Amino acid sequence: MKTIFVVDDTDTNLVMAREALGNDFRVLTMPSAAKMFNLLNKIMPDLILLDIEMPEMDGFTALEKLKQNEQTAKIPVVFLTAHAEAHGTQLSADDFITKPFSVPALQNRVAELIKQSHPEG
């Protein structure tokens, strides 16, 4: 089963993402980028859903740090953002999903990205 990290400082978004994706994926939620980097020492996810606006380390900084590390540079990252204009593609984000997200849209985007990045199944 593919593993997805959901990094967001809003509990409601973490719960919604876990409920939306939990039947098809192993979903691990965390409230900060710092917690994500701690967990990356133990578990490599197949995809990361990353909030942009978070205290301590924002999503742009976290993405930059992910891309600088050989181990994590190839993990697909999808920004979760309340700002539709904050497209992360110029920073190598693979996609972005506007919050509040609809469950079917989230499920479809995640499934498609997992399929693209892991064509072997």
Tell me the DSSP string of the chain.
--EEEEE-S-HHHHHHHHHHHTTTSEEEEESSHHHHHHHHTT---SEEEEESS-SSS-HHHHHHHHHHSTTTTTS-EEEEES-TT---GGGT-SEEEESSPPHHHHHHHHHHHHHHH-TT-
| pTM reported for the whole predicted model | 0.92
pLDDT tens profile 7-61? 999 999 999 999 999 999 999 999 999 999 999 999 999 999 999 999 999 999 9
Question: pLDDT tens digit string along 60-102?
Answer: 999 999 999 999 999 999 998 876 555 544 556 888 888 888 9
Domains of the chain: 3-117 (3.40.50.2300)
